[in-house]
Structure 1
Amino acid sequence: MAVRAPYRSLRGISAVAALLALGAVGCSDVSEAVDGAKDGAKKVARQRSVFSLDVGDCYNPNGKAEGTAYVVEIVPCDEAHEGQVVGEFALDEGKEYPGDDGVSAVADERCPVEAQKYAPDTWALPKGAALFYYTPTRESWATGDRAVSCTYTAQKSKLSGSLDTAKSLKPEQATYLKGSNALYEALWANQPAKDTVEDDLAGYKAQAKAVAAALDAHVEGLGGIEGTEVGKLRATLTKAAGNWKKAANAADVDAFYIAYDPAFTGIAPNKSVAARKELGLATTVPADEAEVWAG
């Protein structure tokens, strides 16, 4: 966001009358010009300040998807669009602007959580959709702006339809996704500070402890869901939880590695495909997740 901007007026409609007054153009030219002017007026009428975005709004940015924005074009979600607001939250009130990096750090942490409330099954997201957010700038912070709007934005083509799937989930689907999302959140949110276990054994053990706890909760949730494949996944994850606990309690680096390898592969996304199919959820592993496990 930048400085607070007012809603755009409908002055574009006046272009229609001006074009109709021109007698030197042919009928087809006038018709095309009028249609173009109407489309332009329609777009202007849909303009909304980025300060008034609501969860569920589908929109097209004015210009590039990234960068400082004043207004966006709000469109019906059944029309092709570039983005949809899938979450929002307010930053803590403070006298001083925390800086671009400070704001982004909070948004990086909070937006995935807020987005999952709206679209819990990340596997079902359209290909190319990525999580972005509108945040306050130093200038807008001075006017009292503290809002962060989390959006899924199409990086290449367009989005079609609303991404709001939370309301349509069956209880067993919601239970599965809650546990699965919490598991992967525990894994990625507790990344150790160093790249190697040798340099940060304590950090890797702490991550293992967090993952083991999330797995225990996920396994417990799966216990209340019927299904052959769900039962098989529950057994797989129970075994994985045991390995994560061994890693968390490893006495040294060698002991950690012995437990970590089977622990990590035990929660690989492809382990859950059959259970997801049984539950009626998306079954295609997102490319970014598949790449991580393949690496």
Structure 2
Amino acid sequence: MSIPPPPGPHQPQDPYRPPPPQGPYTQGPYPQGPVPQDPFTPPQQPYPHTPHDPYAQGPYPQAPYGAAPYPVWGQGYSPYGRPSAINGVAIAALVLGILCFLPAVGLVLGIIALAQIKKRGERGKGMAIAGAVLSSVGLALWILMLATGGASEFWQGFKEGASQGAGSSFSLAKGDCFDVPGDMLGKDVYDVDDVPCSGEHDAEVFATVPLPGSDYPGEDEVVEVADDKCYTLRHAYAMDTWAVTEEVDVYYLTPTSESWDWGDREITCVFGNVDDGGTLTGSLRADETTLDADQLAFLKAMAAVDEALFEVPKDPPQDDLKGNRTWAGDVGDVTAAQAAVLSGRTWPATVRAPMAALVKDMQRSSKEWAAAAKASDVDAFNEHYDTADKVVDGTTTVTAREALGLATTPPDYDEDFGDSSGDTRGGDGDSGLDV
């Protein structure tokens, strides 16, 4: 005799669910009876039941109003019909193989991934194989580069490229104009912006000085070299010294111990404004690239005279008459020689008369310098010195410069660059190169 199924629609038991609870309590808490049929739901037929059905529904407590005996949470998890996971080691092997980074590691990871995939039934066999193959090729290339020295060349090129990228002061060259972050050329310059020299800019590069040796020489030595070389090279770039006004000063960017390790071995000499936050406008370059032959000839002659004048003794005539007399004789010789150079050149028609007047003044000045060199006392020396000095950068010099199209405002040597010994130089000369 079989136990009849409970009244109401009967649903087959899910074979993957646990069997219903067994026990003497086969009756639900509520009276059994037909459940009202939803008028909008088609009637369901009871599941046929036979005593010999191994999956027959056993007695279990009936939920109220025919509700399902287990809660339903959406779709639910089913272990069937879902793809297996991709092996993570295979992904790592493929990435390292493509990037050719640590090829030995990529090869090992590819082998490990193949073993794990076979054991776990995971996906990613193709990625593991591809990563192992690419890593093998990369490993072979690395071995070849090490054997031929190509690796060191690659690393050196990488460092040079990194240190000379756009926006870095490593990449500055002679003739470049640039701006720096902030309001002034401070002690440390970490990056620069290249700008046209025709407009406003913070600084203009007039020279670069390579430093020899493989080891960083130290900050003090680097600054000493920069102080000497930059002030010497400024006139080679700005030959028209009258165009370098008293607002312009010399600065330099020097390597640091950190930037030295990245291949920075140059001192960068620049013109900048003496005022904090001040700028320059237009290029100060006046050399063979920007001047004509007549301008060059004139500026070279005047530069020779200026160089002799800048060698003035530190002690005045009353303390060192002999030294001052020797200096006056040298100035007279140079002045006479350069007057002869200017006189022997064929000048354009518009320049001939002004140049002739200047040559005449230079010849008269050379005689006064020669007389000062023979002075027997300090008073005689000063008398000849004052007469000769009036010719230096005088009216005839201004007229000749105007005819040649050069600057016509005489510099104030006490406020400008001063002599080559550095007594009247401006600027702190202590700005460091960016790292």
Amino acid corresponding to residue 158 of structure 1 in structure 2: T
Which one of 253, 257, 260 corresponds to residue 378 of structure 2?
253
**1:229–1:278 contact (8 Å) kept in structure 2:** yes
Counterparts of 1:95-106 in structure 2, within 5 Å, are 97=217, 100=220
Greater relative contact order: 1 or 2 (C-alpha under 8 angstroms, separation 6 or more)? 1
How far apart are the structure 2 equivalents of 1:205 and 1:108? Answer: 30
**Deviating 4+ runs (over 4 angstroms):** 4-9, 91-99, 102-109, 136-146, 287-292
Counterparts of 1:80-99 in structure 2, within 5 Å, are 80-90=200-210, 97=217
Give the aligned partner of residue 280 of structure 2.
159
Aligned partner of residue 198 in structure 1, secondary structure: coil
**1:5–1:71 contact (8 Å) kept in structure 2:** no
How far apart are the structure 1 equivalents of 2:395 and 2:215? Answer: 47
Give the aligned partner of residue 318 of structure 2.
198
Bigger radius of gyration? 2
| Greater alpha carbon shift after TM alignment, 224-233 vs 105-114 | 105-114
Amino acid corresponding to residue 279 of structure 2 in structure 1: K
Give the aligned partner of residue 217 of structure 1.
337
Give 1:65 shift. Answer: 0.9
1:96-128 per-residue CA deviation (whole Å, 9 max, x = no partner) reads 95874x655654554344222222112234672
In the alignment, does 2:201 pair up with 1:76?
A: no
Give 1:79 shift. Answer: 4.3
Give the aligned partner of residue 149 of structure 1.
268
**1:7–1:47 contact (8 Å) kept in structure 2:** no
Aligned partner of residue 179 in structure 2, secondary structure: strand
Give 1:207 shift. Answer: 2.5
Amino acid corresponding to residue 181 of structure 1 in structure 2: A
Aligned partner of residue 200 in structure 2, secondary structure: coil
How far apart are the structure 2 equivalents of 1:209 and 1:130? Answer: 31
Give 1:68 shift. Answer: 3.0
Counterparts of 1:113-192 in structure 2, within 5 Å, are 113-125=232-244, 128-136=247-255, 147-156=266-275, 157-166=278-287, 167-188=289-310, 190-192=311-313
RMSD (Å) for aligned C-alpha atoms: 3.5
Q: Which runs of 5+ in 2 are unaligned?
A: 1-158, 419-435
1:27-77 per-residue CA deviation (whole Å, 9 max, x = no partner) reads xxxxxxxxxxxxxxxxxx85213x442101111123431413343222233
How far apart are the structure 2 equivalents of 1:245 and 1:256? Answer: 10
Which one of 315, 324, 328 corresponds to residue 208 of structure 1?
328
How far apart are the structure 2 equivalents of 1:273 and 1:290? Answer: 20
In the alignment, does 2:357 pair up with 1:232?
A: yes
**2:304–2:334 contact (8 Å) kept in structure 1:** yes
TM-score w.r.t. structure 2 length?
0.49
Structure ranking higher in helix proportion: 1
Give the aligned partner of residue 59 of structure 1.
178
Query: CA, structure 1 residues 68+246, in 2 after alignment: closer, same or farther (shift >3 Å)?
Result: farther
Instruction: Report how many residues are paired.
Output: 250
Give the aligned partner of residue 125 of structure 2.
none
**2:163–2:262 contact (8 Å) kept in structure 1:** no
Counterparts of 1:280-295 in structure 2, within 5 Å, are 280-288=405-413
**2:168–2:192 contact (8 Å) kept in structure 1:** yes
Aligned partner of residue 197 in structure 1, secondary structure: coil
Give 1:78 shift. Answer: 3.7
How far apart are the structure 2 equivalents of 1:47 and 1:53? Answer: 9
1:178-225 per-residue CA deviation (whole Å, 9 max, x = no partner) reads 11122112212x13132x211122332232233223313321221114
Amino acid corresponding to residue 176 of structure 1 in structure 2: F
Query: CA, structure 1 residues 103+261, in 2 after alignment: closer, same or farther (shift >3 Å)?
Result: farther
1:161-191 per-residue CA deviation (whole Å, 9 max, x = no partner) reads 4333322322111111111122112212x13
TM-score w.r.t. structure 1 length?
0.69
**1:84–1:153 contact (8 Å) kept in structure 2:** yes
Query: CA, structure 1 residues 106+225, in 2 after alignment: closer, same or farther (shift >3 Å)?
Result: farther
